[in-house]
Amino acid sequence: MATEKVSFLESQQSREIIELSQLLQETSDNVTTSPSGLPLSAKRPVIKKILEAMAAGIDVSSIFGNVVKAASTKDLVLKKLAYIYISTQAEQNADLVILAINTFQKDLHDENLFVRGLALRTLCSMRLSEYVPYMLESLNSALKDSSAYVRKTALISCIKVFHLSPEHVLDTTLIDQLYKTLGDRDPEVVANCVVALNEILHSQGGMTVNKKVALYLLQRIRDFNEWHQCLILNTLVRYKPNEDDEIYDIMNLLDDRLKHHNSGVQLAAMKLFIYLTINIPEIHEDLYKRVREPLLTLLSLGNPEIAYSCLEHLILLVKSAPQLFQSDYKQFYRRIKEPSFVTLKKLELFQEVATDINAKEIVDEISCYITSDNGAIANKSIQTISNIAIRIGSILTYSLEIFIKLLETGKDNIVSGIITILEDLLNESPDKFDGLLSVLPSIWASVDLTSPAGPAFLNLLMTVGNTLPETPYILESLIEDIENYPGTSFRLQLLNSSVALFLLRPAECKDMLAKLFKYTMKSTEHLEVRERSLFLYQLLRFDIETAKKIFDFRHETTKISNKNLWNTTKGRPLYEFNTLSITYGKPSEQFIVDTGPTFYWQSNQEIDSQFSPTLEFDTASEHNRDTFTLSSENPIDADANVFKSCWSKFINSDQLEISLPETSMLVKSLTLDDIEDVFKESNIFTMASGNTGDVLKFFLYSKEENSHVLILCELKINIHLASANINIKTGYLPQDEIGSDAQETELFKYSQHFSHYLTTCLQNLKNLISEKLSYLKNLTNNMVSNKEYQTYLDSERIYTCSKCHTHLAEHKELISKAFQGRLGRAYLFNAVENVCLGQKEDRTLITGVHTVKDISCIGCNTVIGWKYVSICLSRRSEVQRE
């Protein structure tokens, strides 16, 4: 019956698939234009259905051919969907893929770069080694494509082809080509290139990172997007600088990465820092201090998963630098809404962070978790307090007091948990159990004796409770009931405890011990128990003195030193920082199955010679610009004559015109002095300035600090045309002039720098203007309203101004709709936002004379209603409903 059903379902499904296939064929490929102006094919819904079926696990491989046909379309969405289908179904239809190759070939030369990228991505995603030649061919041309998008796709595709057929990739010059691509202009291409090299050369330890490559990547680090920064920082970990200075340079360069908004980048940077300083212990310490705040912020503000990973890393750091978080323990307090896995990790951390100073407060905090509903948290909390108490002696008594108080609650899981750990605690300080005496008899009913707490309870009973009057009775009732407690360890402990008690109080225990021996010697299921029972029996029979010696607990000094256990984890290496290893607490070999192929690649040439970064990027020139600083000293002391003579003497000049949108129209609001001040702040001095109608004219001068180049400038700001005309002349003052040719060539460079500099100054001008304007605006606005922005309301139904859509009131504030105003229907609201009040006045309304204030919308100043002043706080507004 069942099989029939399944086959029926299957046939039903395959019929549906065939129908879909027919539908796909029949649907005309008429590409209409969608409302948004993109081509839209009628086949789109059909292929969506096919993909849905595929996602649901239905076999859709039979219609491969039809989908391939559908892939050649102008509708890009349809094409993408068809390609998703092709890449997943290719393996089942290896022989049919040749049909698709044609489409791929065509798309690889499409004019749309996304289509080219898509085709390449899909082609190389097919795990069919017989098509590798096609892939390699298209890769070669794609790596030289004009579009960065296609190039970066090609690089990832290299990895795919490599895994498909390593020999093919290693045989070609592809790797040489990859090393060359490292110098690409586009950062995404470079990043993917690093990724590809790392993966292809995985068996050789990844890409070669020598000084040249490392510095190159570091210089461009800000160009990469956040994910690529993570990957590249991780790659740079392999670089070992030779000199300390270089280490400091790298750390300075990457310092702000520690504050990046993406925690992946932050942690990658931290890891790199740790690697760099691993041999310089004094900096290492300092480094820990620097990562402290960022990690704490991540813990507080990240989502729970990030917080979880963060805690793991904190635990690791605390182990290496125990003092580091000593005063931050409050940050680790439990938050009521956090998932239990975070709390459990926090407990682990508390255990590490606790010191003499903070232990009491930490124990106080943890003791609050013990009454929590979550059993795992309660248990772990008890465990953690006990571990802290064992490590820090000063807190031991206090912890015991807390435990004893908690025992009185009689809550099952708490009692069992505490009993289990009390044994360890009492071993630490055998003289502190007086308080326990009174509680012990009353709690035994709440102890879950089948759990590990059972034996622990019995042990306590004989160590602590041997003088209590109730003890024999407790044991007796347990012996009566022994069949319900099958645990081996429980029975062994029961034997021990009974014998021990018998030795102290023989009269009370004789009968029950006999009963116990009888039962345990008879039972055959637990050999261990039986043997122990026989042994004890013989011991008591023949040598009662020795037995007494053995069971005399008061002299027992078996200190199970948990302190030793403690230190073993301390040296956990930081080498696998920011990886899963930290989570599992073991090196990656233990949980990562490396199945990657091992192939070796020998380059014909030295890598250095292949990788020649084309220094097109700006870092070189930027570097120079940094040294361009203008002297703050006035070079010619406002001597107009010197200026004039220089202006006429200097031949090197540079003219340019820049447009100043939205600035110049407003320059009028500034005085000439204002503008001169801005220049002066930037160390540019003004010789003369004037205002001729639409044109503001300035003569400016300045001196470069290092090279003594004097820069003169004529600046004309045309308000009407919204443009600035800059004429720059450079030269040397007579006393600085040396007259070498080298200086002459420098001059041009400086004039360029200056023009740059001036442009930024003009930008500053813009800021000044807008600030000034908004100040004026504020002044005027204050008359109407002092709000520059509007408060927005957030609820399902809101009422807004019918003119400008400013949010006014929430639906829940509505009191009545049955109101009549001057202009029609009105609603009465309890509270209204984004309005400003008018003058108080008495007005005769339908219900009598009221003191009211008009209210108007702050967005458009329309009067929208009135507010009753005399009655309480009801406001009322005529608004459009939305």
Partner 1 sequence: MISQFFILSPQRGDTLKTWHKEHGPDQDPPPIFNVDGVQILFTNIQGLYFVCTTKFNVSTFMTFELLDRIASLIRDFCGILSEECVRLNSSLIYELLDEVIDYGYPQTTSTDQLKSSIYEEPVPVKKENIIIDSIAKLRAHGTNLGFSSNKPISKPTANSHDEGRYKQNEVFIDIIERLVACFASDGMTIHAEINGSIQIKSYLQDNSEIRIILSSNMTHGRDMYYSDDRFGIMFDDYKFHESVDSSEFEGHRQMIIFPPEGEITAMIYRISGDVNLPFRVFPQILDVPESPNKIDVIIRIRADFPEDKIATNCTVIVPLPHITQSVSNEHLDGFADQSARYDSRVRKVFWTINKLKGGTEQSLKIKVTGASQFSPAAHLEIGPINLEFDIQNYTCSNIQIRRLKVLEKSDSLPPQRWVRYLTLAESYVFRI
Nearest CB to partner 1, comparing residues 121 and 708: 121
Q: Quick check: 111 binds partner 1 (CB under 8 A)? A: no
In the complex with partner 1, the residue whose CB is nearer, 245 or 794, is: 794
User: Do residues 441 and 403 touch, judged by C-beta distance below 8 A?
Assistant: no
3-state SS of 613-624 is: CCCCCCHHHHHH
What residues from 378 to 407 belong to the interface with partner 1 (CB under 8 A)?
405-407
Residue with tokens 């807004």: 800
DSSP 326: T
Residues 809-828 interacting with partner 1 (rule: CB under 8 A): none
Q: How far is CA 812 from CA 792, 815, 829, 864, in A?
A: 15, 8, 9, 19
- Tokens standing for 631? 């002297």
Burial class (CB in 10 A: 0-12, 13-18, 19+), 557: exposed
Q: Which is nearer to partner 1, 98 or 592 (CB)?
A: 592
Q: Least distance to partner 1 from the beta carbon of 859, Å?
A: 8
The values of phi and psi at residue 690, to 5°, are -160, 165
Cβ proximity to partner 1, 538 vs 767, nearer residue: 767
Q: Which is nearer to partner 1, 18 or 38 (CB)?
A: 38
* Least distance (Å) between residue 403 CB and partner 1: 11
Asked if residue 531 lies in contact with residue 496, where contact means CB atoms within 8 angstroms, the answer is no
Instruction: Give yes or no for residue 576 binding partner 1 (CB under 8 A).
Output: yes
Q: Which of 114, 248, 566, 599 binds partner 1 (CB under 8 A)?
A: 114
Rounded-to-10 torsion of CA 152, 156, 161, 163? 160
For partner 1, the closer of residues 256 and 618 by Cβ is 256
Q: Interaction with partner 1 in 496-535: which residues (CB under 8 A)?
A: none
CB nearer partner 1, residue 227 or residue 535: 227
State which residue, 98 or 376, has the beta carbon closest to partner 1.
376
Residue with tokens 């202006």: 647
* Cβ contact 104:71 at 8 Å: no
Q: Is the separation of the CB atoms in 303 and 342 below 8 Å?
A: no
277, 451, 578, 877: which one contacts partner 1 (CB under 8 A)?
Answer: 578
In whole angstroms, give the CA distance from residue 219 to residue 250: 10
Q: Looking only at residues 296 through 325 of this chain, which bind partner 1 when binding is defined by CB under 8 A?
A: 296-297, 300-306, 308-310, 312
Query: Parallel, antiparallel, or unpaired for β 875-877 and 824-829?
Result: antiparallel
Asked whether position 607 contacts partner 1 by CB under 8 A, the answer is: no
Residues 6+ apart with CB under 8 A from 73: 29, 31, 41, 43, 79, 82
Task: Give the shortest CB-48-to-partner 1 separation in angstroms.
Answer: 6
Query: Which residue in 320, 331, 489, 759 binds partner 1 (CB under 8 A)?
Result: 331
What does the alpha-carbon distance between residue 402 and residue 785 come to, in Å, rounded to a whole number?
Answer: 59
Quick one: 638 or 665, whose CB is closer to partner 1?
A: 665
Q: Phi, psi at residue 792, to the nearest 5°?
A: -105, 150
Q: Kindly state the number of chain residues that form the binding site for partner 1, as judged by CB under 8 A.
A: 113
Residues whose CB falls within 8 Å of the CB of residue 717, separated by 6 or more in sequence, listed in order: 660, 664, 667, 695, 696, 697, 698, 723, 724, 725
Q: Residue 371 or residue 569: which is nearer to partner 1 going by CB?
A: 371
Options 376, 437, 615, 784; binder of partner 1; rule CB under 8 A: 376
Q: How far is the CB of 426 from partner 1 (least distance, A)?
A: 20
Buried-state track 320-342, b at ≥16 Cβ within 10 A, e below 16: bbeebbeebbebbebeeeeeeeb
Shortest distance (Å) from residue 595 CB to partner 1 = 8
**Contact indicator for 301, 333 with CB cutoff of 8 Å:** no
Based on CB atoms, which residue is closest to partner 1, 398 or 519?
398
Give yes or no for residue 333 binding partner 1 (CB under 8 A): yes
Span 688-747, contacts to partner 1 by CB under 8 A: none
Q: Which of residues 348-367 bind partner 1 (CB under 8 A)?
A: 361, 364-365
410 binds partner 1 (CB under 8 A): yes
Residues 460-489 close enough to bind partner 1 by CB under 8 A: none
Rounded Cα distance, 420 and 815, in Å: 61
Helix or strand or coil: residue 206?
coil
CA dist., res. 263 & res. 259, Å (int): 9
Residues 6 or more apart from 292 whose CB is under 8 A from it? 324, 325, 328
| Interface pick for partner 1 out of 11, 19, 26, 38 (rule CB under 8 A) | 38
Among 74, 335, 668, 881, binds partner 1 (CB under 8 A): 335
Residue placing its CB nearer to partner 1 in the complex, 48 or 549: 48
Closer by beta carbon to partner 1, 367 or else 493: 367
Which residue of 48, 74, 510, 840 would you call a contact of partner 1, by CB under 8 A?
48
Smallest separation, CB 615 to partner 1 (Å):
25
Neighbours of 227 (CB within 10 A): 13
- Closest approach, Cβ 461 to partner 1, in A, equals 21
Going by C-alpha positions, the residue among 792, 809, 791 that lies closest to residue 800 is: 809
Alpha helical stretches, state H, 486-598: 488-504, 506-522, 527-542, 544-550, 562-568, 580-584
Considering only residues 220 through 239, tell me which ones interact with partner 1, judged by CB under 8 A.
225-228, 230-231, 234
Binding mask 752-791 for partner 1 (x = CB under 8 A): ------------------x---x-------------xxxx
Closest contact distance (angstroms) between CB of 263 and partner 1 is: 4
Give the chain's radius of gyration (CA, Å). Answer: 41
Q: How far is the CB of 411 from partner 1 (least distance, A)?
A: 5
Q: How far is the CB of 798 from partner 1 (least distance, A)?
A: 8
Minimum gap (Å) between residue 340 Cβ and partner 1: 5
Considering beta carbons, is residue 473 or 792 the nearer one to partner 1?
Answer: 792
Q: Report the sign of the C-alpha dihedral through residues 542, 546, 547, 548, in that order.
A: positive
**Shortest distance, position 24 Cβ to partner 1, whole Å:** 15
Cβ distance to partner 1 smaller for residue 76 or 607: 76
Q: Closest approach of Cβ 261 to partner 1, in Å?
A: 5
Q: Which of residues 156-195 bind partner 1 (CB under 8 A)?
A: 156-157, 159-160, 188, 192, 195
- Of 254-273, binders to partner 1 (CB under 8 A) are 259-264, 266-268
Structure tokens at 217: 């990547």
Residue from 21, 66, 153, 496 in contact with partner 1 (CB under 8 A): 153
Q: Does 792 bind partner 1 (CB under 8 A)?
A: yes
3-class secondary structure, 639: coil
